[in-house]
Protein backbone atom coordinates (compact mmCIF):
# COMPACT_ATOMS: atom_id res chain seq x y z
CA UNK A 1 0.00 0.00 0.00
CA UNK A 2 1.36 3.41 -0.95
CA UNK A 3 1.82 5.99 1.80
CA UNK A 4 -0.90 8.25 0.42
CA UNK A 5 -3.31 5.30 0.53
CA UNK A 6 -2.26 4.57 4.12
CA UNK A 7 -2.78 8.20 5.11
CA UNK A 8 -6.24 8.34 3.56
CA UNK A 9 -7.26 5.09 5.26
CA UNK A 10 -5.96 6.34 8.62
CA UNK A 11 -7.76 9.68 8.31
CA UNK A 12 -11.06 8.06 7.31
CA UNK A 13 -10.86 5.42 10.05
CA UNK A 14 -10.00 7.92 12.77
CA UNK A 15 -12.78 10.28 11.68
CA UNK A 16 -15.28 7.43 12.00
CA UNK A 17 -13.99 6.36 15.40
CA UNK A 18 -13.47 9.86 16.82
CA UNK A 19 -15.62 12.43 14.98
CA UNK A 20 -15.31 14.71 18.00
CA UNK A 21 -12.20 14.44 20.10
CA UNK A 22 -11.92 15.83 23.64
CA UNK A 23 -8.79 17.55 24.91
CA UNK A 24 -7.33 15.09 27.45
CA UNK A 25 -6.15 17.63 30.04
CA UNK A 26 -8.67 19.58 32.09
CA UNK A 27 -8.14 23.35 32.05
CA UNK A 28 -10.09 26.60 32.20
CA UNK A 29 -7.81 29.00 30.33
CA UNK A 30 -4.57 29.14 28.37
CA UNK A 31 -2.41 29.40 31.48
CA UNK A 32 -3.94 26.36 33.17
CA UNK A 33 -3.56 24.43 29.90
CA UNK A 34 0.13 25.35 29.81
CA UNK A 35 0.62 24.19 33.38
CA UNK A 36 -1.34 20.97 32.83
CA UNK A 37 0.71 20.09 29.75
CA UNK A 38 3.94 20.82 31.62
CA UNK A 39 2.82 18.56 34.47
CA UNK A 40 1.88 15.73 32.10
CA UNK A 41 5.51 15.10 31.14
CA UNK A 42 6.44 11.55 32.23
CA UNK A 43 3.05 11.21 33.93
CA UNK A 44 -0.51 10.38 32.91
CA UNK A 45 -3.38 12.68 32.01
CA UNK A 46 -5.54 10.94 34.61
CA UNK A 47 -3.08 11.68 37.40
CA UNK A 48 -2.67 15.28 36.24
CA UNK A 49 -6.45 15.81 36.10
CA UNK A 50 -6.79 14.47 39.66
CA UNK A 51 -4.11 16.82 40.96
CA UNK A 52 -4.61 20.13 39.16
CA UNK A 53 -8.05 21.08 40.59
CA UNK A 54 -6.48 21.84 43.97
CA UNK A 55 -3.63 23.81 42.39
CA UNK A 56 -5.91 25.78 40.06
CA UNK A 57 -8.40 26.53 42.82
CA UNK A 58 -5.58 28.46 44.49
CA UNK A 59 -3.87 29.85 41.39
CA UNK A 60 -5.34 29.73 37.89
CA UNK A 61 -3.28 32.63 36.55
CA UNK A 62 0.43 33.58 36.63
CA UNK A 63 -0.10 36.42 39.09
CA UNK A 64 -1.51 34.16 41.79
CA UNK A 65 0.85 31.29 40.93
CA UNK A 66 3.92 33.50 41.33
CA UNK A 67 2.73 34.46 44.83
CA UNK A 68 3.02 30.86 45.95
CA UNK A 69 6.35 29.45 47.04
CA UNK A 70 8.06 26.64 45.17
CA UNK A 71 7.53 24.42 48.21
CA UNK A 72 3.78 25.17 48.23
CA UNK A 73 3.49 24.23 44.56
CA UNK A 74 5.65 21.15 45.08
CA UNK A 75 3.48 19.90 47.93
CA UNK A 76 0.33 20.07 45.79
CA UNK A 77 1.78 18.46 42.67
CA UNK A 78 3.82 15.76 44.45
CA UNK A 79 1.49 12.91 43.34
CA UNK A 80 2.33 13.65 39.69
CA UNK A 81 6.05 12.96 40.02
CA UNK A 82 9.16 15.06 39.32
CA UNK A 83 7.54 17.57 41.63
CA UNK A 84 10.72 19.44 42.52
CA UNK A 85 11.69 20.21 38.93
CA UNK A 86 8.12 20.91 37.84
CA UNK A 87 7.39 23.18 40.81
CA UNK A 88 10.46 25.28 40.02
CA UNK A 89 9.43 25.47 36.38
CA UNK A 90 5.87 26.52 37.19
CA UNK A 91 7.00 29.18 39.65
CA UNK A 92 9.70 30.61 37.38
CA UNK A 93 7.61 30.67 34.21
CA UNK A 94 4.79 32.37 36.12
CA UNK A 95 7.20 35.08 37.25
CA UNK A 96 8.42 35.57 33.68
CA UNK A 97 4.87 35.72 32.29
CA UNK A 98 4.04 38.48 34.78
CA UNK A 99 7.27 40.41 34.24
CA UNK A 100 7.80 40.04 30.50
CA UNK A 101 4.40 39.18 29.01
CA UNK A 102 1.87 41.11 31.12
CA UNK A 103 0.55 37.81 32.45
CA UNK A 104 -0.43 36.57 28.98
CA UNK A 105 0.71 33.21 27.60
CA UNK A 106 2.44 33.95 24.26
CA UNK A 107 1.16 32.47 21.02
CA UNK A 108 4.41 31.63 19.24
CA UNK A 109 7.11 28.99 19.53
CA UNK A 110 9.97 31.40 20.21
CA UNK A 111 8.44 32.97 23.30
CA UNK A 112 6.84 29.80 24.62
CA UNK A 113 10.05 27.80 24.36
CA UNK A 114 11.92 30.58 26.15
CA UNK A 115 9.90 29.83 29.30
CA UNK A 116 11.37 27.49 31.95
CA UNK A 117 10.34 23.83 31.58
CA UNK A 118 8.54 24.50 28.28
CA UNK A 119 9.92 22.37 25.48
CA UNK A 120 8.86 21.97 21.87
CA UNK A 121 6.14 19.41 22.58
CA UNK A 122 4.55 21.49 25.35
CA UNK A 123 4.66 24.59 23.18
CA UNK A 124 3.11 22.66 20.28
CA UNK A 125 0.20 21.44 22.41
CA UNK A 126 -0.53 24.93 23.74
CA UNK A 127 -0.41 26.51 20.28
CA UNK A 128 -2.67 23.82 18.83
CA UNK A 129 -5.25 23.62 21.60
CA UNK A 130 -5.32 27.18 22.89
CA UNK A 131 -4.67 29.18 19.72
CA UNK A 132 -5.73 26.76 16.95
CA UNK A 133 -2.34 27.16 15.28
CA UNK A 134 -1.49 24.05 13.21
CA UNK A 135 1.18 21.99 14.99
CA UNK A 136 1.77 18.26 15.35
CA UNK A 137 2.83 17.44 18.93
CA UNK A 138 4.43 14.01 19.07
CA UNK A 139 4.00 11.94 22.22
CA UNK A 140 4.92 8.29 22.81
CA UNK A 141 1.69 7.04 21.21
CA UNK A 142 2.18 9.00 17.99
CA UNK A 143 5.87 8.07 17.83
CA UNK A 144 5.00 4.37 18.25
CA UNK A 145 2.10 4.34 15.79
CA UNK A 146 3.84 6.30 13.06
CA UNK A 147 6.52 3.59 13.13
CA UNK A 148 4.07 0.67 13.32
CA UNK A 149 2.16 2.10 10.38
CA UNK A 150 5.31 2.44 8.27
CA UNK A 151 5.02 6.24 8.10
CA UNK A 152 8.26 7.05 9.93
CA UNK A 153 11.52 5.28 10.73
CA UNK A 154 11.14 5.61 14.50
CA UNK A 155 14.62 7.10 15.02
CA UNK A 156 13.50 10.11 17.05
CA UNK A 157 10.48 12.32 17.71
CA UNK A 158 11.87 15.15 15.56
CA UNK A 159 11.88 12.89 12.51
CA UNK A 160 8.44 11.54 13.41
CA UNK A 161 7.04 15.08 13.65
CA UNK A 162 8.56 16.03 10.30
CA UNK A 163 7.14 12.91 8.65
CA UNK A 164 3.68 13.49 10.17
CA UNK A 165 3.62 17.09 8.95
CA UNK A 166 4.74 16.01 5.51
CA UNK A 167 2.16 13.23 5.15
CA UNK A 168 -0.99 14.59 6.80
CA UNK A 169 -2.84 17.70 5.51
CA UNK A 170 -1.98 20.77 7.58
CA UNK A 171 -5.63 21.59 8.21
CA UNK A 172 -6.01 18.23 9.98
CA UNK A 173 -2.89 18.35 12.18
CA UNK A 174 -4.53 19.60 15.37
CA UNK A 175 -7.36 17.10 15.23
CA UNK A 176 -5.53 14.05 13.98
CA UNK A 177 -2.72 14.19 16.53
CA UNK A 178 -5.35 13.87 19.26
CA UNK A 179 -7.17 11.14 17.35
CA UNK A 180 -3.96 9.12 17.07
CA UNK A 181 -3.33 9.50 20.81
CA UNK A 182 -6.80 8.20 21.67
CA UNK A 183 -6.47 5.40 19.12
CA UNK A 184 -3.10 4.39 20.54
CA UNK A 185 -4.52 4.17 24.04
CA UNK A 186 -7.59 2.20 23.00
CA UNK A 187 -6.45 -0.03 20.14
CA UNK A 188 -2.67 0.03 19.87
CA UNK A 189 -1.03 0.25 23.31
CA UNK A 190 2.65 -0.41 23.91
CA UNK A 191 1.79 -3.27 26.28
CA UNK A 192 -0.94 -5.86 25.92
CA UNK A 193 -1.34 -5.04 22.24
CA UNK A 194 -3.43 -7.43 20.17
CA UNK A 195 -3.31 -7.17 16.39
CA UNK A 196 -6.87 -8.47 16.04
CA UNK A 197 -8.16 -5.37 17.86
CA UNK A 198 -6.01 -2.94 15.90
CA UNK A 199 -8.02 -1.97 12.82
CA UNK A 200 -5.44 0.35 11.32
CA UNK A 201 -2.24 -1.66 11.89
CA UNK A 202 -3.89 -4.76 10.41
CA UNK A 203 -4.46 -2.79 7.22
CA UNK A 204 -1.43 -0.53 6.86
CA UNK A 205 1.18 -1.79 9.34
CA UNK A 206 4.67 -3.01 8.65
CA UNK A 207 4.99 -6.72 7.96
CA UNK A 208 6.23 -7.46 11.48
CA UNK A 209 3.00 -6.02 12.87
CA UNK A 210 0.68 -8.06 10.67
CA UNK A 211 -0.58 -11.60 11.02
CA UNK A 212 1.08 -13.99 8.60
Active site amino acids? 121, 139
Residues 6+ apart with CB under 8 A from 138: 121, 146, 157, 160, 161, 164, 177
Task: Report the alpha-carbon distance of residue 148 to residue 206 in Å, rounded.
Answer: 6
Task: Report the alpha-carbon distance of residue 175 to residue 187 in Å, rounded.
Answer: 18
132: left (phi over 0), alpha (psi -120 to 50) or beta: left
Q: How far is it between the farthest Cα atoms of the chain? A: 61
Cβ-contact 176, 11 below 8 angstroms: yes
89-122: burial string, b at 16+ Cβ within 10 Å, e else: bbbebbebbbeeeeeebbeebebbeebebbebbb
Amino acid sequence: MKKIEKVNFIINTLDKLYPKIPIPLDHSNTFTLLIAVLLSAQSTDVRVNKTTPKLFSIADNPYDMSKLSIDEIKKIIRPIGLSNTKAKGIYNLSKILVTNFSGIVPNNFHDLESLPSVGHKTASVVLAQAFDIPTFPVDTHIHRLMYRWGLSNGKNVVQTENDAKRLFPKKKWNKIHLQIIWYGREYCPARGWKIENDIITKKVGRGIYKKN
